[in-house]
Structures are given as structure tokens and as C-alpha cells.
Amino acid sequence: MRTVPDTLARITRLKSGKAEPAQPRNRLSALTNFGSNPGALKAKCYLPKSLAKKPALVVVLHGCTQIPADYDAGSGWSKMAEEHGFALLYPQQVRDNNGNLCFNWFLLDDIGRDKGEALSIRQMIGTMVSRHKLASERIYVTGLSAGGAMANVLLATYPDVFAGGAIIAGLPYGTASTVSGAFERMRGHSIPKTRELRAGLRAASPHTGPWPTLSVWHGTGDSTVAEANARAIVEQWRGVHDVDSAPAVTETVDGQTRKVWRDADGRDRIALYSIHDMGHGLPLNVASGYGKSGPYMLDVGISSTVHIAQSWGLTRKLASGRRRKAAAKPISARVMPADRASPRDDKIRKVIDYALRAAGLKR
């Protein structure tokens, strides 16, 4: 609905002969019939006009209060995918699951292997790979905030599926099992010790390696998810990658600090980007041509989208070095076709709503 100032501005433009400013175009399409969908999620996807040889799949998880179309427009992922021939999958949270549209990274029924939201996303991935003949060894995941925490859930529970992941303003895997516990961890309180973090990661799946590469992005001025969580994620993953406690490289990239941990063969396994004074959001460099600033989309002179895509070999030929074995056989999409998300347990929904209201995050 247009406001009066909007209408007056539009009339003025028409009288002057100036064109209406272009409206953002939603590039995404609905993904349906992807499986039993125990997490009752929805999904969007993007396929470029021309897929590259052995096309990759990037799973992108939005943050709280966001929807895939807004996140895509802000991050620039579909523009990157169109130019370089890879596919995108955007799982979408629904209000019946979480009133603030957060992925439920803190509920045990949603963060276990072959459970809840994690399984729903795994089914989406299997459907995308089989339906569009994507390369099962080139599957990646990234997400912001609650989406970043859920990206870590997927990396922990399905490390056999992913070649790499990027967690932006997220949290370690398995550190909360209640809404109140989730808020405590977001503040940086009572984060488990390194030994417990690593034990939880190893217990999340029967996988023994190789493990997905990882980049972690966090603003030093983030007051929504404390920066301590970024350091905890690095500590959680250092164990499975068997890398030293000290980074092999500390450097400045686009004005920001980047630390890299390498394995015995000198390959990058973990990278930590600390964005000076940035608050809670996705780091962008709008001048790069990818993304646009907006709520939680922060133009700070470094494009996480560009750097993440480059690190995964999406913007050039597939990098040499380690080659992962093929992912596990895709989960059948014929169990219970899910054109629409089905309602979740009403008790879970009421607990989440109550906690959000108590915290002042929902009216």
C-alpha cells in the first residue's frame, strides 16, 4: 500500500517524464514435493539459465524476521549464481514453527540427524541434487544468525553431505536445548568448554571424515550474538580438523582481520573473519555489485558473499586438492509429498511464543 508521500513522489516523476525506480525482482521459485518434511518448513530455490559443468548447490539460511526473497536481494547470492552457473536452495521458516521466523537451532527435536528441521533441509538437498543433476560432492551451506546456527547444525549432523560451510553471526552446535538457554548463549553466557563442544560435534553423526571446511564471520560490535560464539565455533571445529591452536595465518583482507587454520598438508580448513565494529548482520561491499544494504545487511566494505563463493571455488574452476567422496544417497522425496508446510506440535509453538514475548521480542 502506497503512502501519501509515495503517491505524490510518483505523480511528480510521471509529470517530469522520469521512469519509476526499478523494484527488486524476486528471482526465487518454490520447491515442492521434497519429502516427508518433519520440520514443516517451506523452500525456495534458484536455478541459473545455464548450469556449469558439475554444478554446485549452495544452501542459504535466512535469519530471524527474514524471508528468502529479502535475504537473497540483500546478499546477492542469486546474481552470483546466475553469473557462475550454480544452484541455490533457500529453506524457509514459517510462523507456526517460530513466531519470529527463526530456525529452531536450539530445539533437540530439530537439530538431530534425521530429525525435524534438519531432516527437512536434508530432504530438500536430496531433491535438488536428483531433480537437477547437481554435483553431490559440491554442496555448501551458509546462514546468518539463527540461520548461521542452523548451518552449523547441518554441518554437524550431515558432514558427509557438505564440502564446506560459512557461519555468519551464528553459534556453536548443540549448546542450547531451550529458548531461555538459547538467549543465554546468544549473550555469550555459559558457553560450554572446548572439550564439551567437540564431543557434541563428534556425537552428532557417525561420520569419521573428511570434514567440511569452515569460515566464520562475526562483527566485533555485535550486541545480539556475542562475538565469543565465533571463537567457540572455531574451537568446536579445530578438533575434527586436527589443526593447531594458533592460526597459521593472520592477515588483513579488505580492511578486516582474517585468521586461517591449516592442516598438516597446508590446506585451509578454518577461517575466522572479524569485522571491526560491525553490529549484527551480513557483511557486504555493495560496490562489488553483489547485494544491497538494508536491515541486517551491512555495507562495511567486505563482501562475505564474494569471499565465501571464492573460497568454495564457485567463481573459478573447481580448486585442486582434496576431493570429497560422493554424498550419501539422497533421501527419497516420495515418502510424503509436501506442497505445503504442515503444522508443528502446538505445545512447542506455545513454549516458543511465550519465551519470545517474555524477552520482549514478540508482541
Kindly list the structural domains of the chain, giving each domain's residue range(s) and its CATH number in brackets, ordered by start: 52-213+303-358 (3.40.50)
Q: Pairing mode, if any, of strands 42-46 and 256-262?
A: unpaired
Instruction: Report which residue type is found at 70.
Output: D
pLDDT for the residue 28: 98
Per-residue model confidence (pLDDT) at position 359: 44
pLDDT at 225: 98
Pairing relation of β-strands 282-284 and 268-275? unpaired
Compute the residue count for the chain. 363
For residue 89, list its beta bridge partners.
Answer: 45, 59
pLDDT at residue 26, as a whole number: 79
Q: Would you state the pLDDT for residue 350?
A: 58
- Residue-level pLDDT at 340: 43
Give the pLDDT of residue 300: 98
Q: What is the pLDDT at residue 345?
A: 60
pLDDT beneath 50: ranges in the chain: 1-24, 317-340, 358-363
Q: How far apart are CA 45 and CA 52, in angstroms?
A: 16
* 320 tagged catalytic: no
CB 94 within 8 A of CB 42: yes
Please pick, among 78, 136, 145, 311, the residue that the annotation labels catalytic.
145
Cell of residue 363, nine digits: 508482541
